[in-house]
Structure 1
């Protein structure tokens, strides 16, 4: 039988412990231990739920009675946008439920299969080697974000979509603004408009003169309108530019802070696949997602009522000791089946296979080429993206011993 939740709702934890740049907000573990599905108070007065337990988060991610529609959500942080939000723009799959979401996803799934992404491995390896060579020429004292972590996934998503890489700087700033959680709504709107205008121009070009790229393939689909193609293209571009770049940079920071694990990555190449999954679990750079109940849902002895917002803490779920032994340790040999770094269910990350290919190649290659790689500043001096929806580092100064 369901039971009544605790009378006192918790507030959304945000503070990470000083000196623990890889751990989730420290109060999440306390909440998780006490009640993996807890009542949560929202700044606008709404009372909803916070899910931190792995089983609860995974079940809710897969439940069709949970909605991602922006206009139904409440925001758990005091510095967020004003609610209610408008509905998702045309083509923005992230804010759509089935069947609208299903329609778009089916059109894209064939473009992001495991087989097709593996076919891109050779090109990822070429781009990686080019940037390792450039790093070596530049010498120690380089910012790894700008010189390595950001350009590799940026080049890959640009090539995949057919976006001129020379135009990257024109939309990189807009992407950064979109992912800044405390950016004014006016700035976010302007950034989205900038990306929209850029992609819309590309869509028109490719409809009249298609090339061998994903965006051209989509433009030949008579079922997709120009507005939908623009929204889909902008979403794929923004996600491909930011998320994997942060995983490469933050993953490098984590390995530099755990030298024994970095040595494993260098000396045991067969660990690459497992290492990627463990870094996704341990870091969970996209740590939180928000949903709304469309119907009453009973889970873990609690009843989430229709209309209540549920905050799903993926980073807490990935540190749940009920799922992963010694979860706060980075262990590249760990069996990580069920890690939620890419999400789960109908909205699981569409580009996860591309991200896996990029991470599997770029991470070991970096530490193999530069076995003496180290931070060029004290760990506490590394600037963290604490105001971004995608967590990571702003920059990562590194050095190594030259031969």
Structure 2
């Protein structure tokens, strides 16, 4: 949702434009951005609150020191505390059927916001997720699809998120690390020493979350059944599937109003250019300012049932006998011959020491006085992932 919200913010900033022009912030409208989804999972629920930001800024500003809470129609109140750029519920709780929930946000500058009352949607479980080799848009790859069925026919509107984890191995790994010797003397001119690396650094794991809005609805079908809805397509050349890959797919059942809000954001993000004669305008959700009904508030308070399933596969399972994808960056091996003086060769003793001090290269091969070096992502997987396998890994 974050990506789509950026485009919505972009729309607010450029709302008066009718012709393409060089991107710049001529006008800026500050607005609060609230991302709030609670589910029927028993867990600490999370809410994100930030502010709109200018085009030249990289990230939104987190709205700090707000009082955030949710109430239900039985008089229960669920308080949220600020932590790590989010607001996390003080205790674990889950949305229950036939109960009404309402979100309240009071900012540190005295502004108050509240949502409409929302109820939990129908529980409809994922029946399966599948990985199938396909050619889409002229690209060979893996299409990961979701399937579900609601015999009551009351779900109809679905949103999907995924969290993918992959195992990978760096292409130029050494069990040793090269260190600068701090005790060089004329009698013992040893400029570098090697040492065994601390901890595994050849094979790691990395987890990424989806950023796009993935929707499906069954209103045009004879039954409330989702068949092979594409959640993630991965090119056969993408290195994230070169070894072992796992994906956790979450299916949210949404209300019509929630689906409409997300569908509008999705259409906005797919429109190509917002600087066109047809401006989509401001997309309103179900959250408003209590004291100023004309204030623009971006976001939606969603109460959704959720179901999830996880899938694993190896590259060889789907592409037996085929070449594995290349590493995600080109890795060049740099040779440093420290027998040459700085005046004789650009990557001699002084160059090696400088780049090691900047931590921009690490050891690959030791043929002292020649050292073959690579940039850290090519030789130490911990620079881009974790060497600890996730608890769910198998």
Q: Same fold (TM over 0.5)?
A: no
Q: Which has the higher strand share?
A: 2
**TM-score under structure 1 normalisation?**
0.25
TM-score (normalised: structure 2): 0.26
Flag the structure with higher helix content.
1
